[in-house]
Amino acid sequence: MNILIVSWAAITSIPFLSTVFRYTSPPKREGPVTEAVTTTGEVPPNTGKTVSVGNKPVLLITTPEGERRAFLANCTHLGCVVRYREEENDIYCACHHSVFDIEGENISGPAPRPLPQLPIEIENDHIVVTVS
Ligand code: FES
């Protein structure tokens, strides 16, 4: 009978011990993710496109002058996904109306910081972005 009770206690404690282990062990750190996200033709001058890199939203912009930029697309206020506005040539967050310029600087609204800019490269007509 004692063996049965000890076995039952050991088996039922596994979920509890697993939960304790998950909360007490340090989280795994993920390294940078580099991906070819789209082609250059998909983001012509004065347009923006949102893509996903390593499960993070990334806003690609080609300025009216043809310069390419990439930003983490989470607004620095509360994390909504921002978008490029062609008519205003800026980056806009519809949640609480923050506006960023095309350098990612916060210029109006409640966003407290600029959008993090990401490294971008063009390889064989593909836009390659790295997210850390
Ligand atoms: S989340 Fe973007 S302005 Fe609030």
CATH of the domain at 59: 2.102.10.10
Q: How many CB atoms lie within 10 A of CB 106?
A: 20
As to burial, measured by CB atoms within 10 angstroms (0-12 exposed, 13-18 middle, 19+ buried), residue 40 is: middle
**Is there a domain that residue 11 lies in?**
no
Strand 47-53 with 106-108, pairing:
unpaired
Domain, as residue range, for 54: 33-131
Strand 68-72 with 56-62, pairing:
antiparallel
Whole-prediction pTM: 0.79
Ligand 1 pocket, Cβ-based, cut-off 6 angstroms: 75, 77-80, 93, 95-96, 98, 109-111
> Which residue reads 């991906």 in tokens?
35
**Is there a domain that residue 21 lies in?**
no
In the chain, the number of structural domains is 1
Residue 93 structure tokens: 């967050």
**Is there a domain that residue 2 lies in?**
no
**Is there a domain that residue 127 lies in?**
yes
Distance between CA atoms of 8 and 6, rounded to whole angstroms? 5
Pocket test for ligand 1, best of 75, 90, 99 (most atoms within 8 A of CB): 75
**Is there a domain that residue 79 lies in?**
yes
128: amino acid identity, one letter: V
54: amino acid identity, one letter: G
**Is there a domain that residue 78 lies in?**
yes
- From first to last of its 132 residues, the chain has per-residue pLDDT tens of 666 666 666 666 665 555 555 556 655 557 899 999 999 999 999 999 999 998 999 999 999 999 999 999 999 999 999 999 999 999 999 999 999 999 999 999 999 999 999 999 999 999 999 998
Spell out the residues 6+ positions from residue 108 whose beta carbon is closer than 8 angstroms to its own: 97, 98, 99
Phi, psi at residue 13, to the nearest 5°? -85, -10
